[in-house]
Amino acid sequence: MEIDSSPERPDTLLPSRKPAAEAVGTVEVVRTHPVPAWLLSCGLHTLLLVLLALLYQATFSGAAQEQTRTGGIVLVAADTETTEYLSEGDRSDSSASSESAAQSPPPLPSEAERLPELPGLASSESPLTGVGDDLLEALPGANSLTEGTTQGREVGGQVTTEIFGVKGTGNRFVYVFDKSDSMNGFEGRPLRAAKEAMLTSVESLGEINQFQIVFYNNERDVFKRGNDAGMFFGTPEVKLAARRFIQGVIASGGTDHLQALRHALSLQPDVVFLLTDAEGGFTSDELRQIAGWNRSGAVINAIEFGQGAQNDGDRSLEALVRQHRGQYVYKNILTLKK
């Protein structure tokens, strides 16, 4: 038997294949090859990059156009809902309008818009009263704001008071009384009568009136409250203290009118009552000095004590009162009660 050593052919081992057209009859089957996945991925990425490039270009060009505006200070006017950006040109326009509005005064209110006058309030058309050139003189000094004063006290009321028939009208009074040793004569009647007349006059003053007391010889003895030696209001407490001061005065020494009058006029009174048992003895130069001291224009009244009838000697006291629009009276001490 003969063995075939040639290799096997595939067609001898597998059944023979017929063409596909023959296997299905008259229908021809066409095989399609699918698109690879890597190709689809590349296409999608390329498309995405193109879209991003277009979007970036549009954004950049818009920003470039916005940056073409002129540079400068930008103000922001913002409220709760909107924000407005103003350039320097806008600011100048708005500033001009604001300045114009500021320079233009607001319209006056009409009669209907004006507030009605409050009850008890004086009308603005009413004239002021009680205010004049003497206002500062009517006000109390710092030294009168301690004892003898009350808060809210009225100042400036005038009163008329008198010493031995000599009258003075005003608000501020200074009593300048001689207490030299000669006032002790005739069993002390001159000093006693002087004290009684002063007490009566002080008691007649009201609480809104002010006064001061100066007893003098070679020196002066001034009524004080503590360290205060100014003008005092005529309150009951001050009057009581003044009474004690007056009653305690003792006559002694000589007589110096000038130093007492100078102190009295420095208080800027309305009226001065000068009482002395000396004839005055003022020289022309001394009368000019007193006139220079009387800056408040005070009225100076004089009461002269003398024995018997008035003589024709020195009349300088009368000259003094004429110079200062006052009154003069001569009082015979022999007629004073014991």
Instruction: Assess contact for 253 and 180: CB atoms under 8 A.
Output: yes
CATH 3.40.50.410 for domain 168-335: yes
- Say if residue 48's pLDDT is above 70: yes
**Could you give the CA distance from residue 17 to residue 20 in angstroms, rounded to a whole number?**
9
Q: How high is the pLDDT of residue 106? A: 54
- Assign 50 a pLDDT band (cuts: 50, 70, 90): confident
| More confident: 296 or 140 | 296
Phi and psi for 142 in degrees, rounded to 5? Answer: -65, -30
Report the 3 state secondary structure along 256-311.
Answer: CHHHHHHHHHHCCCCEEEEEECCCCCCCHHHHHHHHHHCCCCCEEEEEEEECCCCC
Phi and psi for 168 in degrees, rounded to 5? Answer: -140, 135
**Could you give the CA distance from residue 306 to residue 293 in angstroms, rounded to a whole number?**
28
Phi and psi for 139 in degrees, rounded to 5? Answer: -80, 145
Q: Which residues pair with 302 in a beta bridge?
A: 274, 328
- State the DSSP code for 182: G
For 81-133, how does the pLDDT look when each residue is reduced to its tens digit (9 = 90+)? 444 444 445 544 544 444 444 455 555 555 444 444 444 333 333 333 333 34
- Assign 196 a pLDDT band (cuts: 50, 70, 90): very high
3-state helix, strand, coil in the chain (%, to 5): 40, 15, 45
Q: Is the dihedral of CA 248, 252, 257, 260 positive or negative?
A: negative
* Helix, coil or strand: residue 138: helix
